[in-house]
């Protein structure tokens, strides 16, 4: 299962425009796919449709029973033996009417229950499929899509697909029974009165369908405006500390008010559309009922039909009023399922850019040698601007590689290529001679761990955050990893220790504490290659020195890559690479690079002699 790329909302004025054979064909294919999904639950579907047919049959018998009861009531007033018989028959009709109404209610309840059951089963399956697909989609996908759009697909679009069975298919069966068979019964009883009684049906069906399609189109537009509103709110809540620090509450309120007002205006327009069309449909119904009363009354006075027959026609009209209006709801359900299904299946069917090769094998680590061989890379959305060009280096077990360079030079990209967050566009990366594209992702990412620059924490205990990669780890391992990261003593000083719950995204911890916690989380994995992507920037120099000393023993059995702007974080490395414009322009030990007097030396002078006017390669003066 899958879904199409996230499309923009249809504007109201385009609701019925641009409808061609291709779009109809695509929509029918989507509806057929949803229908097949529903029929994967055959016994619930059978009970739902069977209950619908029985409930509709019982409902169609009510007008006839009521009409007969009216005629029997008239006969009661005749008195005598005929009146007594009529009274007995009236009681029988009343009890039968009560029984039919009760049964109709029970089968309607059964219809609603099993139809909803099918929908909720489909919703459950689609939510799992959608969430699982989002977990597997590559970084390049998430780089281009806003999380609010994914939430909209996973909630609103999924709901449109989920409700298709109960509001579309089941309703179609019900309407076919009530309108089709009801119209036949009316026309076969009296052709003229039947035509008058049904005269409101074409108009109401037309206006209901147009109204619902228009409301559907405006709902898509409103959904887009609400997505904008949710993005504004999400961004504000995520950056609430920045907003407060810069006293920008008034600006944020204005931005939110504009987005909210935009949604409110469209909501008012939708209300006006609904009210105008509902009034027109109600008027047409009562106008038709007035015609039936006028002509039917004359027929009663002429003795052509009985009062009970006229009551049957009026009851049929009352019963048909709501189903006819529901034609629009049914059309809307089909249109909504088609549109929502297009977006949802577009996501579910999307090709995963980073995945296991058909013949992928588990990674086998012996010496743990990491090698970049003429690696080039460009992001998919900017293929004409490569980030890396012909990068080559080698790191053996126990070695530490330092990578430094100006912002945007490609340092973090190197870190993201090793665990295959992205695939190289040229050259190759190997671990013990095995191309990382030829091994399974699971085994690769167990062997390669990246301590991200963004220290993300989950809203749970410190213990659970550290043990995220191995939830069943013993407490001793958690405490040892915490000790490597110089976090253990701090945690012991907390009232609840490792059971302390950190706030959303770890806001109850300082930046340095969050980074130390993510380092401890990575230590738990015991990887063959560990990459620190500027992951100590918020840690003070003294604590960083202690972390580095504690990790010397840990680093003996693995490759360590340190990406940093602060040279004190990597000057102990066995080899330092200076990256600029996607190329390695200098390499060597700290002492070798200082002796060369190049870019590294300029950056070193800038950092260790901040009082001097040293112009570095970034074009900045120290």
For residues 596 and 586, the answer to whether their CB atoms sit within 8 Å is: yes
Of 172-186, 342-356, 494-508, give the lowest mean pLDDT range: 494-508
Angle between helices 182-189 and 42-76 (to 10 degrees): 30
Q: Give the Cα-Cα-Cα angle 410, 535, 492 (nearest 5 degrees).
A: 170
At 613, is the pLDDT very low, low, confident or very high (cuts 50, 70, 90)? very low
Average pLDDT, integer, range 467-479: 87
Tell me what pLDDT residue 609 has. Answer: 62
Instruction: Give bridge partners of residue 321 from the DSSP assignment.
Output: none
At 511, is the pLDDT very low, low, confident or very high (cuts 50, 70, 90)? confident
Q: Which residue has the higher pLDDT, 435 or 92?
A: 435
**Tens-digit pLDDT profile for residues 522-532:** 888 888 899 98
Indicate if the pLDDT at residue 618 is higher than 50: no
Computed on alpha carbons and rounded to an integer, the radius of gyration of the chain in Å comes to 36
Of 108-112, 351-355, 424-428, 473-477, give the lowest mean pLDDT range: 351-355
Q: Which residue has the higher pLDDT, 367 or 591?
A: 591
Which residues lie below 8 Å from residue 388, measured CB to CB, with a gap of 6+?
375, 376, 377, 410, 413, 414, 417, 582, 583
Residue 322 CA: distances (Å) to CA of 7, 52, 200: 34, 16, 12
Tell me what pLDDT residue 395 has. Answer: 92
Grouping H, G, I as helix, E, B as strand and the rest as coil, residue 305 is coil
Which range among 5-14, 272-281, 409-418, 605-614 has the greatest average pLDDT?
A: 409-418
At 201, is the pLDDT very low, low, confident or very high (cuts 50, 70, 90)? confident
Q: To the nearest whole percent, how much of the chain has pLDDT over 90? A: 18
At 82, is the pLDDT very low, low, confident or very high (cuts 50, 70, 90)? low
Indicate if the pLDDT at residue 221 is higher than 90: no
CA dist 584 and 31 (Å) reads 54
Q: What is the DSSP string of 526-584?
A: --SEEEEESTTTTS-HHHHHHHHHHTHHHHTTSEEEEE-SSGGGTTTSSEEEEEETTEE
The dihedral sign for the CA sequence 492, 496, 499, 503: negative
Indicate if the pLDDT at residue 148 is higher than 60: yes
Indicate if the pLDDT at residue 2 is higher than 60: no
Burial 491-510 (b: 16+ CB within 10 A, else e): beeeeeebeeebeeebeebe
What is the residue-averaged pLDDT of the chain? 82
Q: Which segments of 423-499 does DSSP mark as H helices, in order?
A: 441-447, 462-466, 475-484, 488-492
At 86, is the pLDDT very low, low, confident or very high (cuts 50, 70, 90)? low
Tell me what pLDDT residue 504 has. Answer: 53
Smallest CA-to-CA distance from 75 within 63, 91, 87 is with 87
Tell me what pLDDT residue 78 has. Answer: 56
**Tens-digit pLDDT profile for residues 163-193:** 889 888 898 898 888 888 888 888 888 888 8
**Tens-digit pLDDT profile for residues 231-287:** 788 778 777 877 777 887 888 888 888 888 888 888 888 888 888 888 888 888 888
For residues 56 and 177, the answer to whether their CB atoms sit within 8 Å is: yes
At 20, is the pLDDT very low, low, confident or very high (cuts 50, 70, 90)? very low
Indicate if the pLDDT at residue 219 is higher than 90: no
Indicate if the pLDDT at residue 11 is higher than 50: no
Which CATH number is correct for 370-588, 3.40.50.720, 3.50.30.20, 1.10.3720.10, 3.40.50.300?
3.40.50.300
**Tens-digit pLDDT profile for residues 29-76:** 888 898 899 999 999 999 999 999 999 999 888 888 888 877 777 766
Tell me what pLDDT residue 17 has. Answer: 35
Containing 428, the helix (H) or strand (E) segment is strand 426-431
Tell me what pLDDT residue 21 has. Answer: 40
At 561, is the pLDDT very low, low, confident or very high (cuts 50, 70, 90)? very high
Are 21-348 and 370-588 the same fold in CATH?
no
Average pLDDT, integer, range 570-595: 91
Instruction: Give bridge partners of residue 578 from the DSSP assignment.
Output: 404, 586
15 phi and psi, to 5 degrees?
Answer: -60, -45
CA dist 276 and 181 (Å) reads 30
At 460, is the pLDDT very low, low, confident or very high (cuts 50, 70, 90)? confident
Burial of 337 (0-12, 13-18, 19+ CB in 10 A): buried
Smallest CA-to-CA distance from 121 within 54, 41, 176 is with 41
Indicate if the pLDDT at residue 388 is higher than 50: yes
Question: What residue ranges do the domains of the chain occupy?
Answer: 21-348, 370-588
Smallest CA-to-CA distance from 425 within 386, 398, 472 is with 386
Q: Enumerate long-range contacts of 505-514, CB under 8 Å, 24 or more apart.
A: 505/456, 505/457, 505/459, 506/455, 506/456, 506/457, 506/465, 509/457, 510/538, 511/455, 511/538, 512/538, 512/539, 512/540, 512/543, 513/487, 514/455, 514/457, 514/538
Q: Which residue has the higher pLDDT, 79 or 413?
A: 413
Tell me what pLDDT residue 610 has. Answer: 53
| pTM (2 d.p.) | 0.71
Smallest CA-to-CA distance from 586 within 560, 566, 604, 569 is with 604
Tell me what pLDDT residue 83 has. Answer: 61
For residue 189, the tally of other CB atoms under 10 A from its CB is 17
Report the CATH architecture of 21-348: Up-down Bundle (1.20)
For residues 289 and 296, the answer to whether their CB atoms sit within 8 Å is: no
Q: Which residue has the higher pLDDT, 78 or 251?
A: 251
Q: Which residue has the higher pLDDT, 312 or 508?
A: 312
CA dist 322 and 306 (Å) reads 26
Tell me what pLDDT residue 156 has. Answer: 78
Indicate if the pLDDT at residue 417 is higher than 90: yes
Average pLDDT, integer, range 576-594: 92
Tell me what pLDDT residue 512 has. Answer: 80
CA 505 from centre of chain:
20
Average pLDDT, integer, range 325-334: 77
CA dist 227 and 222 (Å) reads 8
């Amino acid at each position: 299962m899958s879904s199409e790329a996230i499309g923009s909302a249809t504007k109201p004025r385009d609701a019925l425009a641009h409808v061609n054979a291709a779009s109809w064909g695509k929509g029918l294919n989507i509806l057929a796919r949803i229908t097949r999904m529903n029929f994967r639950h055959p016994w619930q579907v059978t009970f739902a449709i069977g209950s619908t047919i029985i409930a509709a049959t019982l409902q169609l018998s009510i007008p006839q029973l009521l009409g007969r009861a009216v005629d029997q009531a008239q006969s009661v007033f005749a008195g005598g033996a005929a009146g007594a018989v009529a009274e007995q028959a009236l009681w029988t009709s009343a009890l039968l009417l009560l029984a039919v109404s009760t049964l109709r209610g029970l089968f309607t309840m059964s219809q609603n229950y099993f139809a909803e059951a099918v929908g909720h089963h489909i919703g459950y399956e689609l939510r799992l499929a959608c969430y699982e697909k989002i977990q597997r989609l590559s970084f390049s996908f998430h780089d281009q899509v806003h999380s609010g759009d994914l939430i909209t697909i996973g909630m609103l679009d999924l709901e449109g697909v989920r409700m298709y069975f109960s509001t579309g298919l089941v309703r179609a069966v019900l309407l076919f029974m009530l309108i089709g068979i009801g119209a036949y019964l009316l026309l076969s009883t009296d052709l003229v009165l039947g035509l008058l009684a049904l005269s409101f049906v074409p108009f109401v069906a037309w206006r209901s369908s147009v109204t619902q399609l228009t409301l559907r189109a405006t709902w898509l537009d409103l959904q887009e405006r609400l997505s904008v509103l949710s993005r504004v709110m999400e961004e504000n809540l995520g950056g609430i500390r920045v907003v407060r620090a810069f006293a920008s509450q008034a600006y944020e309120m204005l931005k939110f008010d504009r987005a909210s007002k935009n949604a409110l205006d469209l909501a008012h327009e939708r209300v006006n559309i609904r009210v105008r069309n509902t009034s027109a449909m109600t008027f047409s119904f009562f106008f038709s009922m007035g015609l039936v009363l006028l002509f039917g009354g004359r027929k009663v006075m002429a003795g052509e039909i009985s009062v009970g027959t006229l009551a049957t026609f009026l009851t049929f009209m009352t019963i048909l009023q709501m189903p006819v209006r529901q034609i629009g709801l049914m059309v809307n359900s089909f249109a909504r399922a088609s549109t929502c299904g297009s977006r949802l299946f577009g996501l579910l069917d999307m090709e995963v850019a980073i995945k296991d090769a058909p013949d992928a094998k588990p990674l086998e680590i012996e010496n743990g040698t990491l090698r970049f061989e003429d690696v080039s890379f460009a992001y998919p959305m900017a293929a004409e601007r490569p980030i890396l060009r012909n990068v080559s280096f080698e790191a053996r077990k126990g070695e530490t590689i330092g990578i430094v360079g100006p912002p945007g030079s490609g340092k973090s990209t190197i870190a993201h290529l090793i665990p295959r967050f992205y695939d190289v566009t040229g050259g190759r990366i190997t671990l013990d001679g095995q191309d990382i594209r030829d091994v399974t992702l699971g085994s690769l990412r167990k062997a390669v761990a990246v301590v991200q620059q963004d220290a993300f924490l989950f809203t749970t205990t410190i213990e659970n955050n550290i043990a995220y990669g191995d939830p069943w780890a013993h407490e001793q391992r958690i405490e040892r990893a915490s000790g490597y990261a110089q976090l253990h003593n701090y945690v012991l000083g907390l009232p609840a220790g490792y059971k302390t719950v950190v706030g959303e995204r770890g806001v109850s911890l300082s930046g340095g504490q969050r980074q130390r916690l993510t380092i401890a989380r990575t230590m738990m994995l015991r990887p063959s290659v560990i990459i620190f992507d500027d992951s100590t920037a918020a840690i003070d120099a003294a604590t960083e020195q202690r972390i580095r000393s504690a990790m010397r023993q840990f680093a003996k059995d693995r490759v360590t890559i340190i990406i940093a702007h602060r040279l004190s974080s990597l000057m102990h490395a066995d080899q330092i690479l200076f990256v600029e414009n996607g190329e390695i322009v200098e390499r060597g030990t700290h002492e070798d690079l200082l002796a060369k007097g190049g870019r590294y030396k300029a950056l070193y002078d800038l950092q260790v002699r901040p009082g001097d006017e040293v112009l570095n390669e970034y074009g900045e003066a120290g």
